[in-house]
Structure 1
């Protein structure tokens, strides 16, 4: 007899290589790709690696990667289709210090309301690894690493009625 999943139960998929601890593998892949897109690792108009390549990178099968990509498409960050690759539709532009300070203010207010010390928030921020290819206080590379190729040309509508 099977029972309905109870609130709080994991939706982990053992067939996808997920241990069941923490978010499902597709959710972790989605989160990581979203972070990279918003950080500018993948710029607007650039192509992501294929689902097969992403599967190798994250230790997941192609269907798990496609589930993560469908979620990003629903958020309007990417678009993809069979035979045309996955292109970034929206990527973050440069943020100024005022915008970042405003976002941090919200984080600190939420931490205060949750009883989390500001020292713990600062320590958590310091443990976040830098996005590969971004400038660091120690003088890392100035420009983000760009993935994908310009050989694909510009992305435009395809299918019926496309020029």
Structure 2
């Protein structure tokens, strides 16, 4: 049986680092977890909080630009925005609106995400972690937050359901990534 810590350690994105200098080949693709990708984005905005430092592709890739390099995150197949279900989207919105900091709590029925009055049941919690929609290390009483993949998927789903023209999806994704992770 797969543990939550193992699910949390699954790949959510391919990451590649590119020098901004001409004629410099891109870096190797590395696999990163939802926590690693989310941490990288938070650190990026701590250094450069401008919205123009982030770009996105309509299918869910996110590019962080700095003077000397850029970091590109390509979604892993399980973390493609189109895989976010309506129930998972509702759960992410509840977590985002929670007054209390969400925590992963192990109960007799299984692990749940607990955030004040919001309690996400065990099966739904496992799916959120498995797809990389939330960032957590999978241990009891660990913090839970909406991950980069979760923000991108929520924005993609909103754009699609509200008939935003596809040519504007990338702009909406970049704006939401900036708004959520730029403190």
Give yes or no for TM over 0.5: no
* More strand by percentage: 2
Larger radius of gyration: 1
What is the TM-score normalised by the length of structure 2?
A: 0.28
What is the TM-score normalised by the length of structure 1?
A: 0.31
